[in-house]
Amino acid sequence: MIVFKKIFLPLLFLSCYSVSAEVVVIVHPSNSSSFDQSEIAKFFLGKAKSFSDGNQAVPINQEDSSSARKEFDSNVLSKSGSQLKAYWSKLIFTGKGSPPKEVSNDSDVIDLISKNPSMIGYVDAASLNDTVKSVGKF
């Protein structure tokens, strides 16, 4: 029993954290702009306010506790949740920006973006449907 606790339990614990879902960045189907990871990150860091076609860009985040949010922050923004909190705190304090609007889950993101050509967001790849357009998978 001691061997089981020392060897197998830590392996089981680590295997729970090795599974990660892919996130898909989505926009309204009518959006014809081009996107790369750098451009997407600029929207979510408040460094860009419009798409390449000149139309306004409104980023939509998911709540901090969302697994899609954690994957997006890590894989697209290359930042941890605490780094992003510090980043936005500084911008808010200096009056230079405000963080993206947050919604609860994938279905809320899809619903908003499918109705608004100005929005950009992300969802778990498994949630993707044909009411929105995928512009990147990370």
Query: 79 lies in which domain range?
Result: 22-137
Q: Is residue 13 part of a domain?
A: no
In a domain, 7, yes or no: no
Q: What are the beta bridge partners of residue 23?
A: 124
Residue 60 lies in a domain: yes
CA distance 131 to 100: 22
Residue 2 lies in a domain: no
Pairing of strands 23-27, 119-124: antiparallel
16 in a structural domain: no
Rounded distance, CA 99 to CA 84, Å?
A: 9
User: Tens-of-pLDDT digits for all 138 residues of the chain?
Assistant: 554 445 544 544 444 444 568 999 999 999 999 899 999 999 999 999 999 999 999 999 999 999 999 999 999 999 999 999 999 999 999 999 999 999 999 999 999 999 999 999 999 999 999 999 999 999
Query: How many domains in the chain?
Result: 1
Residue 10 lies in a domain: no
CATH code for the domain in which residue 131 is found: 3.40.190.10
Distance of CA 126 to the CA centre of its chain: 14
The verdict on residue 39 lying in a domain is: yes
Residues 6 or more apart from 27 whose CB is under 8 A from it?
33, 35, 113, 117, 119, 120, 132, 133, 135
Report helix, strand or coil for 76.
Answer: coil
pLDDT at 21: 82
Residue 8's φ and ψ, nearest 5 degrees, are: -80, -35
Pairing state between β 133-137 and 101-103: unpaired
